[in-house]
């Protein structure tokens, strides 16, 4: 049996190699290896796609988050609220500014930032909230923004999983004061290396980010800020602009495969498919199935024996990551995030998986869960 890879970039390269070579040839001919029109053209196209006035390309998603917070003058003495169930980068960006990370737990069925937990975490030192549109499912932004407005704090979307996702018809990236995107290769819109960007309607923020990404350099060799080297390079910009034209079709394909999983895996003992809110149009960066407590790793092992790769997003919640050992967090502080970390398994889902591969995965999940749950009383998951 040919293995089902979690992601398969070789398949992508084989399919689109000719077109990618043409983009690369144009880049070589341009002779512009930093800055130049390609960067501006991609930024313009991506801002238009997100429905924002500006997009500012940067080197990666972590710095998209960090530079935005820095541009807002977030630093020592300030607090920023972040979900406990996210990639480390969301929290890391805050730590790098010198501000304090304040974690909030998430909703049990979606894994998204819990509004009541956010309200409980607000203090007079809170400067910003960073909701994460985890797995490509948008956060309920209207009530969150109402809370933020009342508390006079800014909202920065972490949209690293949500290129093209819609909340009440509007694209993620245009739902708050600013949004940070990663174009890491595995993301829905992925570069061929590292890249990121910030989208916003705020002209002053966009100007400040353009300063910060280029060592604070203005004209005449004057460095006006303690900036970074965090530019989006023109080769990535050119390749990303080519990819952006395909993004909606690829996201549609992800939705098709997710719908198949949701229909075919519903009702399997010991397994629960991800929840979707009525106002959400997710883009399925991942398909994290919840597996009955204690059986997740058995399921992953059995699938791998059948040649099917899976992934775990995320095996450790933020507060249990060793890099944050100095923070005042303990096991038990964010029980929903901990439970999810122990029970989620992301099944293979990208636009280039074939119907046969998804069918094999469904059959293997059903067979394995039937076996693992046989004899034991299936615990209903809530
Ligand atoms: C990937 C990711 C980031 C950061 O992206 P990099 O480009 O890898 O720095 C931030 N937040 C989330 C939720 C991510 O998945």
Q: Is residue 182 in contact with ligand 1, taking CB distance under 6 Å?
A: yes
Of 55, 68, 278, the C-alpha closest to 154 is 68
Q: Is residue 139 in contact with ligand 1, taking CB distance under 6 Å?
A: no
Q: Is residue 132 in contact with ligand 1, taking CB distance under 6 Å?
A: yes
State the pLDDT at residue 69: 98
Q: How far is the CA of 69 from the centre of ligand 1 (A)?
A: 15
Q: Is the pLDDT of residue 380 over 60?
A: no
What's the Rg (C-alpha) of the chain?
A: 21
Helix (H) or strand (E) run with residue 173 in it: none
Residue with more model confidence, 379 or 327: 327
Percentage of residues in the chain having pLDDT higher than 70: 98
Residue 199 and residue 50 in contact, taking contact as beta carbons nearer than 8 Å: yes
Q: Is the pLDDT of residue 377 over 80?
A: no
pLDDT-based confidence at residue 221 (cuts at 50, 70, 90): confident
Q: Is the pLDDT of residue 152 over 60?
A: yes
Q: Does domain 246-373 have CATH number 3.90.1150.10?
A: yes
Of 90, 92, 247, the C-alpha closest to 181 is 90
State the pLDDT at residue 376: 66
Residue with more model confidence, 378 or 318: 318
Q: How far is the CA of 87 from the centre of ligand 1 (A)?
A: 6
Q: Is the pLDDT of residue 111 over 70?
A: yes
CA distance linking residue 256 with residue 271, whole number of Å: 20
Interval 128-153 mean pLDDT: 98
Residue 381 has which token pair? 């998951």
Query: What's the number of CA atoms in the CB half-sphere (13 Å) around residue 315?
Result: 7
Distances (CA, A) of 163 to 149, 168, 246, 301: 25, 15, 12, 31
Q: Considering the chain, what is the average pLDDT of its residues? A: 96
State the pLDDT at residue 271: 97
CA distance linking residue 34 with residue 52, whole number of Å: 24
Tell me the pLDDT tens digit for each residue of 164-207: 999 999 999 999 999 999 999 999 999 999 999 999 999 999 99
Q: Is residue 196 in contact with ligand 1, taking CB distance under 6 Å?
A: yes
- Measured by CA distance, the residue closest to atom 5 of ligand 1 is 61
Q: Is residue 191 in contact with ligand 1, taking CB distance under 6 Å?
A: no
Interval 144-155 mean pLDDT: 98
* Cis bond before residue 148 (omega within 30° of 0): no
Interval 350-356 mean pLDDT: 96
pLDDT-based confidence at residue 1 (cuts at 50, 70, 90): confident
Q: Is residue 90 in contact with ligand 1, taking CB distance under 6 Å?
A: yes
pLDDT-based confidence at residue 220 (cuts at 50, 70, 90): confident
CA distance linking residue 5 with residue 198, whole number of Å: 31
State the pLDDT at residue 219: 80
- Measured by CA distance, the residue closest to atom 4 of ligand 1 is 61
Q: Is residue 251 in contact with ligand 1, taking CB distance under 6 Å?
A: no
Tell me the pLDDT tens digit for each residue of 224-256: 999 999 999 999 999 999 999 999 999 999 999
Q: Is the pLDDT of residue 88 over 90?
A: yes
Q: Is residue 334 in contact with ligand 1, taking CB distance under 6 Å?
A: no
Q: Is the pLDDT of residue 123 over 80?
A: yes
Q: Is the pLDDT of residue 31 over 60?
A: yes
Q: Is residue 236 in contact with ligand 1, taking CB distance under 6 Å?
A: no
Query: Which ligand 1 atom is at minimum distance from the Cα of 65?
Result: 10
Q: Is the pLDDT of residue 340 over 60?
A: yes
State the pLDDT at residue 274: 96
Q: Is the pLDDT of residue 72 over 70?
A: yes
Q: Is residue 87 in contact with ligand 1, taking CB distance under 6 Å?
A: yes
Cβ-based neighbours of 31, under 8 Å, separated by 6 or more = none
Of 128, 139, 74, 78, the C-alpha closest to 106 is 139
Interval 304-329 mean pLDDT: 96
> Could you give the residue range(s) of every CATH 3.90.1150.10 domain in the chain?
246-373
Q: The domain 9-242: what is its CATH number?
A: 3.40.640.10
Q: Is the pLDDT of residue 60 over 70?
A: yes
Q: Is residue 93 in contact with ligand 1, taking CB distance under 6 Å?
A: no
User: What distance lies between CA 166 and its chain's CA centroid?
Assistant: 14
> Could you give the residue range(s) of every CATH 3.40.640.10 domain in the chain?
9-242
**Angle (nearest 5°) at CA 372 between 307 and 288:** 60
State the pLDDT at residue 10: 94
Q: What is the dihedral of CA 182, 186, 191, 192, to 10 degrees?
A: 140
* pLDDT-wise least confident of 47-61, 247-261, 365-379: 365-379
pLDDT-based confidence at residue 378 (cuts at 50, 70, 90): low
Q: How far is the CA of 160 from the centre of ligand 1 (A)?
A: 5
Interval 62-75 mean pLDDT: 98
Query: Which ligand 1 atom is at minimum distance from the Cα of 182?
Result: 7
pLDDT-based confidence at residue 309 (cuts at 50, 70, 90): very high
pLDDT-based confidence at residue 277 (cuts at 50, 70, 90): very high
Q: Is the pLDDT of residue 381 over 80?
A: no
Q: Is residue 60 in contact with ligand 1, taking CB distance under 6 Å?
A: yes
- Measured by CA distance, the residue closest to atom 6 of ligand 1 is 61
Q: Is residue 61 in contact with ligand 1, taking CB distance under 6 Å?
A: yes
Q: Is residue 92 in contact with ligand 1, taking CB distance under 6 Å?
A: no
Mutate to test the pocket of ligand 1, among 65, 67, 82, 87 (most ligand atoms within 8 A of CB): 87
């Amino acid at each position: 049996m040919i293995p089902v890879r979690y992601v398969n970039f070789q398949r992508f390269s084989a399919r689109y190699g000719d077109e990618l070579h043409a983009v690369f040839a144009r880049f070589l001919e341009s002779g512009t290896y930093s800055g130049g029109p390609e960067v501006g053209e991609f930024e313009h196209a991506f801002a238009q796609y997100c429905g924002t006035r500006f997009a500012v390309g940067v080197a990666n998603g972590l710095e998209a988050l960090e530079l935005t917070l820095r541009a807002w003058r977030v630093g020592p003495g300030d607090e920023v609220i972040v979900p406990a169930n996210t990639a480390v980068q969301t929290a890391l960006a805050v730590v790098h500014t010198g501000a304090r990370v304040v974690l909030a737990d998430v909703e049990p069925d979606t894994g998204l930032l819990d509004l009541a937990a956010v309200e409980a975490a607000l203090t007079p030192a809170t400067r910003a909230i960073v909701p994460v549109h985890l797995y490509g499912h948008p956060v309920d932004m209207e009530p969150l923004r109402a809370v933020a407005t009342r508390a006079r704090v800014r909202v920065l979307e972490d949209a690293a999983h949500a290129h093209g996702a819609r909340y009440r018809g509007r694209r993620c990236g245009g739902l708050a004061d600013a949004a940070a995107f990663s174009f890491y290769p595995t993301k829905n819109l992925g570069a061929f290396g590292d890249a990121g960007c910030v989208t916003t309607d705020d002209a002053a923020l966009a100007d400040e980010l353009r300063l910060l990404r280029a060592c604070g350099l203005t004209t005449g060799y004057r460095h006006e800020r303690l900036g970074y080297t965090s530019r989006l390079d023109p080769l990535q910009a050119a390749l990303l602009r080519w990819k952006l034209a395909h993004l909606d079709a690829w996201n549609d394909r992800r939705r098709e495969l997710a719908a198949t999983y949701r229909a075919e895996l519903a009702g399997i003992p010991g397994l629960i498919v991800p929840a979707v809110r009525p106002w959400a149009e997710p883009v399925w960066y991942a398909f994290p199935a919840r597996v009955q407590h204690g059986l997740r790793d058995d399921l992953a092992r059995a699938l791998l024996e059948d040649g099917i790769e899976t992934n775990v997003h995320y095996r450790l919640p933020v507060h249990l990551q060793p890099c944050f050992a100095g923070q005042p967090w303990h096991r038990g502080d964010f029980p929903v995030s901990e439970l999810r970390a122990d029970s989620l398994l992301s099944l293979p889902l990208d636009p280039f998986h074939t119907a046969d591969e998804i069918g094999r995965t469904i059959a293997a999940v059903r067979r394995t869960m039937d076996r693992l749950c046989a004899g034991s009383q299936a615990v209903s998951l809530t």
